[in-house]
Chain A
Amino acid sequence: MPTDTDAPITPANLVKQPGDQTYVSRAITIDRSRDVLYAFWRDPKNLQRLMDNVERIDVVDERRSHWVVKGPAGADIEWDSLIVEDDPGRRIAWRAEEGAQVANRGWVEFRDGPPGRGTEVHALIEYDAPGGVLGRLIAKLFQREPNTQTRRELRRFKQLMETGEITTSEGPRGAGRHEKEEA
């Protein structure tokens, strides 16, 4: 992954590269103002509620945060994330700092929808895992389902912003064959 450049990634200039890179581009419309959505996303601590597998996000300073993610086989994956663009109410871009096990970068943009239709949130995330056995496991975690993960994160973002809750169906169950695969 070309972490040596901070050139903006846009859906238009994306071409699926050979190798391990995975790009996820996704949009959702949320019935809240750009400023409210930006403010939530700007604080990395908030993002933990939206994400699966995230063990911990520590804010280091204004632009840096340290991420700990549950990795395969019980091994945590950690990296430092750096905000490289910050346009209040409009756009946040970040990238993992040099040496991250899972190189990743991305941006989120908040754009006005048609009048009265809320804010369009556009996200683009790019992952790149290392080689080797661990790399393949990480790739499995980060790359096979990155679309699913991003989709779910944005759905949770919308739920939390619009309803004040993250929707769950957790509840009582009978003694069943729980191993039966769901969704």
Chain B
Amino acid sequence: MRALTWHGKHDVRVETVDDPKIINPRDLILKVTATAICGSDLHIYDSFIPSMMAGDVLGHEFMGEVVEVGPALRGEGDNAPLKVGDRVVVPFNIACGNCRPCKTGQFSGCDNSIPAEKGDISEVAYGHAVSGIFDYSHMTGGYAGGQAEYVRVPYGDVGPVKVPDGLTDEQVLFLSDIFPTGWMAAENCGIEAGDTIAVWGCGPVGQFAIRSALLQGAAKVIAIDHHANRLAMAKAAGAEVLNYHEVKVREALMELTGGRGPDACIDAVGMEAHGFSPDNIADAAKAAVRLATDRTHALREVIMACRKGGHVSVPGVYGGVTDKFPVGAFMEKGLTMKTGQTHTQKYMKQLLELIQLGQIDPTFVISHRLPLEEAAQGYRLFKDNQDEVTKVVLRP
């Protein structure tokens, strides 16, 4: 099959590789019909992500048609939730559905989805092994991704969600990651009637966080970025916008909230890193250090701006350590911080319904469409123009 593979800094290639095979009883094979480039893929492109291996197949946002199912998924009834021919969208993170985290809805904390021999790095770095994620380096399992014609989906009875007829690929593709991620970021704000939510970073995840906060009942959302195009997109959703190149963010926020500060703040700056870079434990590249500083700056700003007793929501942005955490402000103001990789599986069906009801149309975020064969060009385009390029959809 054809697949996009990583070979080093700014070197990704579409090449012919082996087709994936069913290995485990609960596997399924998907024929990919649409896949997206995530902002976090750019960190791989920039070589900021450790434990990548040359030849890794990229892509963690994808959907398609089931073409083969493993023996445990054959048969009728509950054992056959999906059949060959079903059209599904697949969560970026892999979950077994059987362990205690999975059973309690904490899918991104799945104990079993990382291959045993891949769990050592994160166990040392974080105290516990992380869960599996498609592509995204060997630290998260070394799974082949979905920027390819075909992809193997482990635990195929848990993650993939069937797409009803009448919805296009583009309408549901972002259920794989950025929509649930933005939704959970908003949910972690514990929104109550009358609340004002401030969102730092208007990339794709920030955009979905803005819309999710409004859908969850926020009275006002304030979006902060410097890319004109992204701010315009936030404004179109109904947010008030602040360009941090033009105003002092904290002062502006105090003014917009009558001096109280936002009830909750979401740090979605550079969000698409999925928590492993650039402020990464194993990455000492100078550029990465600079970015890490910028990011910690956003987190500091969030904590300083948030009202007393408010919520700070940090979607999976951080992977390393920081010595700039304003623990005093955090404690003295009695803030609550919620964070984590997205429990994608928990939200997909609910969000699919919102799409069906027409309450949100996720296609707003798409700026570019390319065939898979031109994926390398898509990466270059995305990297060079982050104002104009919000989301690139690839078609195998």
Name A's B-contacting residues (CB within 8 A): 29, 31, 52, 117-118, 148, 151-153, 155-156, 158-159, 162-178, 180, 182-183
Contacts and interface: CB of A to CB of B under 8 A. Distances in A.
The winner among A148, A155, A178 for most chain B CB atoms within 10 A is A155
Interface string B166-201: 000000000000000000000000000000000000
Nearest to B96: A163
A174 B7 contact: yes
Contact of B114 (A118, A164, A167): A167
Interface stretch (B16-24, B220-228, B308-316, B362-370): B16-24
Nearest to A181: B53
B55 interface: yes
22 contacts: A29-B100, A52-B117, A152-B119, A156-B116, A159-B112, A163-B96, A165-B24, A165-B154, A167-B132, A169-B143, A171-B23, A171-B143, A173-B5, A173-B56, A173-B144, A174-B7, A174-B17, A176-B5, A177-B55, A178-B54, A182-B138, A183-B118
B123 interface: yes
Interface string B62-95: 0000000000100000000000000000000000
Given A164-B72, A172-B1, 13 more contacts: A118-B100, A151-B120, A159-B112, A159-B116, A162-B96, A162-B112, A167-B113, A169-B142, A172-B17, A174-B15, A178-B53, A178-B54, A183-B142
B144 A169 contact: yes
Contact of B53 (A117, A148, A153, A176): A176
B203 interface: no
Nearest to B13: A174
A182 B113 contact: no
A175 B55 CA distance: 6
A158 B20 CA distance: 26
> In terms of DSSP, what is the predominant structure of the interface of chain B?
loop
Given A164-B25, A167-B132, A173 B55 contact: yes
The winner among B19, B98, B116, B142 for most chain A CB atoms within 10 A is B116
A164 B72 CA distance: 10
A171 B152 contact: yes
B57 interface: yes
A171 B112 contact: no
B194 to A, nearest CB: 38
The winner among A148, A153, A166, A171 for most chain B CB atoms within 10 A is A171
Contact of B138 (A31, A156, A159, A183): A183
B26 interface: yes
Given A155-B116, A163-B112, A167-B112, A173 B72 contact: no
The winner among A156, A168, A174 for most chain B CB atoms within 10 A is A174
B98 A31 contact: yes
A174 B375 CA distance: 15
Contact of A182 (B7, B19, B53): B53
3 A-B pairs closest in CB distance: A176-B55, A176-B54, A174-B5
A167 B138 CA distance: 14
B111 interface: yes
B273 interface: no
Interface in B1-55: 1, 3, 5-7, 13, 15, 17-20, 23-26, 51, 53-55
Interface string B104-132: 00000001111111111101000001001
Contact of A155 (B15, B98, B119, B154): B119
Nearest to A175: B55
A169 B117 CA distance: 10
Contact of A163 (B18, B26, B116): B26
Interface string B139-157: 1011110001000101100
B98 A148 contact: no
A148 B26 CA distance: 27
A176 B11 CA distance: 12
Contacts of A148: 120
B54 A177 contact: yes
B153 to A, nearest CB: 11
